[in-house]
């Protein structure tokens, strides 16, 4: 996106006689950096799909067999992902600071 920050439209003899004139516009870009045209995205999945844990409703209940520290298990591949651990890494290959768009679904 860009906007005009300065304009010069001289109202000289040419403008008065012909109704046309040379004009000068100066544009200022909101974000002057140049971005690549290729979209880069990374996706990850939960290590193991599960409905979740049932926590006790009242204080002092046994917690349905839950004992701390909990064993979260070993990550397994999900949806063809190799060794899905639920982590993702993004690298900025440019020289300008970039702000990623992060989205959580579920």
> Comparing 24 with 13, which gets the higher pLDDT?
24
Distance CA 5, CA 31 (A): 14
pLDDT of residue 75: 58
Tell me which residue range forms the domain holding 6.
Answer: 1-30
Mean pLDDT, rounded, of the chain: 71
In a domain, 51, yes or no: no
Higher pLDDT, 13 or 5: 5
Question: What's the rounded mean pLDDT across residues 36-50?
Answer: 70
Residue, of 99 and 76, whose pLDDT is higher? 99
Whether residue 93 is contained in a domain is answered as: no
As for how many domains the chain has, the answer is 1
Tell me the pTM.
Answer: 0.32
Instruction: Look at residue 10 and tell me if it is in a domain.
Output: yes
State the alpha helices, DSSP H only, in 4-105. Answer: 13-18
In a domain, 21, yes or no: yes
Residue 43 lies in a domain: no
Domain assignment present for 1? yes
Residue 48 domain-assigned? no
Domain presence at residue 17? yes
Q: Is the pLDDT of residue 106 over 70?
A: no
């Amino acid at each position: 996106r860009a906007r005009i920050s300065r304009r010069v439209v001289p109202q000289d003899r040419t403008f008065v006689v012909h109704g046309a004139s040379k004009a000068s516009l100066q544009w200022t870009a909101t974000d002057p950096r140049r971005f690549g045209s290729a979209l880069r995205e990374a996706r990850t999945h939960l290590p193991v799909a599960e409905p979740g844990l049932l926590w006790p409703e009242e204080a002092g209940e046994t917690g349905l067999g839950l004992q701390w520290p909990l064993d979260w298990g070993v990550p397994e591949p999900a949806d063809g992902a190799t060794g899905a651990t639920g982590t993702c890494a993004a690298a900025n290959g440019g020289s300008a600071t970039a702000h990623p768009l992060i989205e959580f679904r579920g």
